[in-house]
Structure 1
């Protein structure tokens, strides 16, 4: 049963056909984006200066706008290509892969500021964890919701696991530095805290989330799916709990110096991802098509 659960999110990445970007011979050698895009145009990506890997597609007059849960960044290019192939009418799609908590604030504010650029697009579809989508559905946000994937947790470590980390309990050791998603912004943070409590009750959670934060051996992230692998690859931390799909992607489908440590099922925490079609979607027909597409064979093959 557990393998079936994980397969529904690992299927999001196993079929990826694009390759991670090659190492660079400078201080930004590990910088995202970690996949290639099918979009064309003058490329002006300057690593460390002008680079926005979590904003995908056409920001000008799009046919469809989707706010994805951030950890699904690795499948978005392929997924959008598959959608546009199935529905060629929709040629311009814009998507974000930033933390759902930030996306909610963006929706409520009506604007997102990144550097000197302001994005004022309203989403047609958003994706997030089951609890978040269910809560907003009860508040009247959606006309339709759909569960489309499941996931669990894993520990991401540097290639070869030099600190010999084997359990979540090891993350509490004084000599282990940890990247930890901030529960205030990222839903995964609360799931990881629950896993800590499954292993060591409140004592392990308090150690990692309070004591180690205060002495800076736990670093809280704002966007873990980018910061945690970068922190590990640049040797700022030794390890970080992440979604299984992220650890699998970096350790098996890229040439990044990252390995994965699995967490036993009895301590692990599952998550269900859901999509919601917004009542006030600016592109209602496209939103309905995308919701239908998420359950299609074409989507599963792309995911």
Structure 2
């Protein structure tokens, strides 16, 4: 009897201890794993490491000997599965491409600046793994991104031209489902009780500047600086289109400026977690997306096929379905050779 009581006391104490531990444990934080890499990194290797994203959300397919490799501005991720399926079907119907092997299509949906950094450094690090980013290893055949990064591709000698194929529909404010803070405009981002998640101007300058243009236009020229200066503002380490929704879901932020197509996708797929606030169309910045073929690609035919497909009405319908505005045929055919 004494043993039973003693054992029961120990078991009960352990149960109470476990309850107390779980009450104080913050599941949104990653424990500090030590590096377990099997070899040294290059001094200028590009890092893409984010807690709670160790399952490689933004790398798709097999990077080993792909039939086509695509690097793209990551905010397009919602459209790409449908786009790839339609591309394969379209290619089978074209005399020039019907024999083209397209089984292994690899694409990366990272911030485009990170992809360009990796092309410059030769290495892209993800936790304890890395990609060799160079011709003959992981190297894009086409690059799909905005004019800002297309200019960098020009400057780095990677492309000769690009064409515009789509535009986003401006910016919304992503919030928790039900909008518990009753956020209605960009001016609410300065409220003391509102915690903001926004792209880092250093780590993701392209998306930050797009969001900042809308904040300036609708809230005054100083609004982006004032938002960044708030002690409660948080910025992603690597990728705003994954981390900012996670910040809101984890209760670390109340609102995040995001592209309409991202807010729409998150609300549609996770309505129990997310909603978004529509902003006025006036001074709501809209950016373009362009596609370019990388010079010297060894998969020339596949790259050309994909570029031709992106200019079709079939591709336009997919982008429209996923919250973008596709440009008119005349603009799709306009080849931009310098910025």
Please indicate, yes or no, whether the TM-score normalized by the shorter chain is above 0.5: yes
Question: Would you say 1:195 and 2:214 are equivalent positions?
Answer: yes
Higher relative contact order (CA 8 A, sep 6+): 1
> Aligned match of 1:145 in 142, 151, 162?
162
Q: Equivalences for 1:201-280 in 2 at 5 Å? A: 201-209=220-228, 211-212=229-230, 215=231, 217-221=232-236, 222-280=238-296
> Aligned match of 1:85 in 75, 83, 89?
89
Between the two proteins, the alignment pairs up a number of residues equal to 255
Which moves more between the two structures, 174-183 or 194-203? 194-203
Residue 273 of structure 1: CA displacement? 0.8
Q: Which has the higher strand share?
A: 1
Question: Would you say 1:130 and 2:134 are equivalent positions?
Answer: no
Q: Equivalences for 1:1-303 in 2 at 5 Å? A: 48=52, 50-87=54-91, 89-120=101-132, 121-137=138-154, 140-151=157-168, 152-186=170-204, 187-209=206-228, 211-212=229-230, 215=231, 217-221=232-236, 222-303=238-319
1:59-86 CA-partner distances (Å, limit 9, x unpaired): 1110111011111111222212222233
Distance 2:55 2:157 in 1: 36
Distance 1:78 1:256 in 2: 24
Who is 1:35 aligned against? Answer: none
Residue 165 of structure 1: CA displacement? 0.4
Larger gyration radius, structure 1 or structure 2:
2
Question: How big is the alpha-carbon RMSD for the aligned residues of Structure 1 and Structure 2?
Answer: 2.0
Q: Evaluate the alpha carbon distance shift between residue 49 and residue 127 of structure 1 in structure 2; reply closer, same or farther with a 3 A threshold.
A: closer
Task: Give the conservation status (yes or no) of the 8 Å contact 2:70–2:141.
Answer: yes
Task: Give the conservation status (yes or no) of the 8 Å contact 1:146–1:291.
Answer: no
Task: Give the conservation status (yes or no) of the 8 Å contact 1:123–1:282.
Answer: no
Residue 280 of structure 1: CA displacement? 2.5
**Length-normalised TM-score, structure 1:** 0.78
SS in 2 for 1:148: strand
SS in 1 for 2:183: coil
SS in 2 for 1:178: coil
Distance 1:219 1:49 in 2: 17
Distance 1:180 1:132 in 2: 20
**Length-normalised TM-score, structure 2:** 0.70
1:191-233 CA-partner distances (Å, limit 9, x unpaired): 1122222133333222102x21xx2x11011211001111112
Task: Give the conservation status (yes or no) of the 8 Å contact 1:63–1:93.
Answer: yes
Q: Evaluate the alpha carbon distance shift between residue 140 and residue 48 of structure 1 in structure 2; reply closer, same or farther with a 3 A threshold.
A: closer
1:67-107 CA-partner distances (Å, limit 9, x unpaired): 11111111222212222233352111110001011011011
| Structure 1: segments with no counterpart, 5+ residues | 1-26, 29-46
